[in-house]
Amino acid sequence: MKTIVPFGPQHPVLPEPIHLNLEVENEIVTGAIPAIGYVHRGLEKLCEIRDFNQMIQVCERVCGICSAIHAQCYCQCIEEMMGVEVPDRARYLRTIWGELHRMHSHLLWLGLFADSFGFESLFMQCWKIREKVMDIMEATTGNRVVISVNIVGGVRRNLDPEQIRWVLSELKFVEEGVKSVEAALLEDYTVKRRLKGKGVLTKEDALLLGAAGPTLRGSNVAQDMRQLGYAAYGEIGFEPVVEPDGDSYSRNKVRFRETLQSIELVRRAIDKLPEGDISVKVKGRPEGEVYHRVEQPRGECVYYLRGNGSKNLERLRIRTPTFANIPPLLTMLPGSELADVPVLILSIDPCVSCTER
């Protein structure tokens, strides 16, 4: 007998509102239809009344968790339009803050994911480690989450040698912390039973449905926008993290390994941090169109900007990673048990405010 079970928009496991109509047959999900639109804010439209410098702060607020990377992407777009060469030090600093953001986003997700399969103490442990990363951001930029350091032409804050020493020593604690939860997240019997073989997304499906980020890399596709070598990634060396199985466990492992990789990338960037200016003066107004992609904690983020030479942009289009990951989610769900649905939904790391902008 077929039953429709509404899932969400308010559900204990969901940090943000998304609604799914699940078609259920004897506890087995046979189909799912999504409904979004609970937190639509129309931020893209704001580009018509805010000038292109003020839009940086708007873009940061598209997503709270990956705000620095949104601003970075937006600034890179405008710089490409106006032909601005960013100083080397600014590119490295952007990389450092971007990776710190990835670290805290992944730790947040690892905690929420643990919570989704009922592992409360692991959730607390992950968020405890995350707090160290937040401290690093507050001490180096002045704010905890929406750090607002990117401007067109560079960055607004600098790191002095003393701060760098302190950041490196704090990162050691973060690394120890992350390694201390490795056994619980990846080796634990109960965790494996909840995740292995659940929500399998094959490599072909992932490519066909346009999955992005860890969802794609968990399905054995080595694609990461950081390979494009924007900011300093081309110089510090970067290899995407890939896992072969395509199930929830793989996606979990990809994110766990990326957290450690981010720590390593921050160290490499600090190691190679060049001296010099952190920003250049920018004159003129954006004109033309530009299409730019960056890698966010959740995956590939696409910006399309069109300027007409006035101080307001004509069009700002943002395609966030969760938007791309909803169709793969819809193919993961059929065939799974109703009790696994929360885990599967969280395994794509849904960021609904991002999705709806």
Partner 1 sequence: MNNVSDITLDALVAEVLKKKNDGWRFVTLSCTELDEESCDILYHFDKDLASSHFRLKAPKATPIPSISSVYFSAFLVENEIQDQFNLKFDGLAVDFERTLLLDEEVTTTPFCRYGVSRANQ
Partner 2 sequence: MKMSSNVIKNFLSKSSTRLYPFEVRDPFDACRYELYNDIEECIFCGNCQRTCPSQCITVDKTSGVWDCDPFACVYCSICVEACPVHCLHQKKTHREPATERQMIHMQGTPPQPKKKAKKTQKDDNHESNA
Give the interface with partner 2 as residue ranges (CB under 8 A): 50, 53-58, 61, 119, 121-122, 125, 128, 135, 138-143, 146, 148, 156-157, 180-181, 183-184, 187-189
Task: Tell me the β-bridge partners of 5.
Answer: 22
Q: Which is nearer to partner 1, 145 or 290 (CB)?
A: 290
220 binds, among partner 2, partner 1, none (CB under 5 to 8 A by kind): none
Tokens of 236: 């510090």
Residues 261-290, one symbol each (x = binds partner 1 by CB under 8 A, - = not), give ----------------------------xx
Q: Which is nearer to partner 2, 61 or 203 (CB)?
A: 61
140 binds, among partner 2, partner 1, none (CB under 5 to 8 A by kind): partner 2
Q: Which is nearer to partner 2, 187 or 275 (CB)?
A: 187
Burial of 281 (0-12, 13-18, 19+ CB in 10 A): exposed
Tokens of 128: 């405890």
Question: Which of 42-50, 97-105, 191-199, 251-259 is the region at the interface with partner 1 (rule: CB under 8 A)?
Answer: 42-50
DSSP three-state, residue 21: strand
Q: Which is nearer to partner 1, 206 or 282 (CB)?
A: 206
| Residue 295 beta carbon to partner 2: minimum distance, rounded to whole angstroms | 24
Residue whose C-alpha is closest to residue 319's, from 63, 53, 147: 63
Q: Which is nearer to partner 1, 153 or 328 (CB)?
A: 328
Question: Which of 57-65, 203-211, 245-253, 335-343 is the region at the interface with partner 1 (rule: CB under 8 A)?
Answer: 203-211
Backbone phi, psi, residue 292, to 5°: -140, 145
Q: Which is nearer to partner 2, 148 or 331 (CB)?
A: 148
Residue 291: half-sphere exposure toward Cβ, Cα within 13 Å: 2
DSSP three-state, residue 140: helix
Decide: 126 and 107 in contact? Cβ < 8 Å: yes
Give the number of other Cβ atoms within 10 Å of residue 139's Cβ.
12
**Residue 225 contacts partner 1 per CB under 8 A:** yes
**Residue 33 contacts partner 1 per CB under 8 A:** yes
**Residue 50 contacts partner 1 per CB under 8 A:** no
For the chain, the maximum distance between any two Cα atoms, rounded to a whole number of angstroms, is 69
Decide: 13 and 113 in contact? Cβ < 8 Å: no
Q: Which residues contact 244 (CB under 8 A, 6 or more apart)?
A: 220, 250
CA distance to 45, 142, 205, 214, per residue, from 240 (Å) = 34, 31, 20, 10
**Residue 208 contacts partner 1 per CB under 8 A:** yes
157 binds, among partner 1, partner 2, none (CB under 5 to 8 A by kind): partner 2
**Residue 108 contacts partner 1 per CB under 8 A:** no
| Helix ranges restricted to H, the chain | 55-60, 67-82, 88-116, 120-141, 161-180, 182, 189-195, 203-208, 214-217, 233-236, 248-272, 321-332, 341-347, 352-356
Torsion of CA 21, 245, 339, 31, to 10 degrees: 20
**Residue 71 contacts partner 1 per CB under 8 A:** no
Q: Which is nearer to partner 2, 85 or 187 (CB)?
A: 187
Which residues in this chain contact partner 1 in the complex, by CB under 8 A?
33, 35-37, 40, 42, 44-45, 207-210, 223, 225, 227-228, 289-291, 293, 300, 302, 304, 306, 314-315, 317, 319, 323-324, 326-328, 356
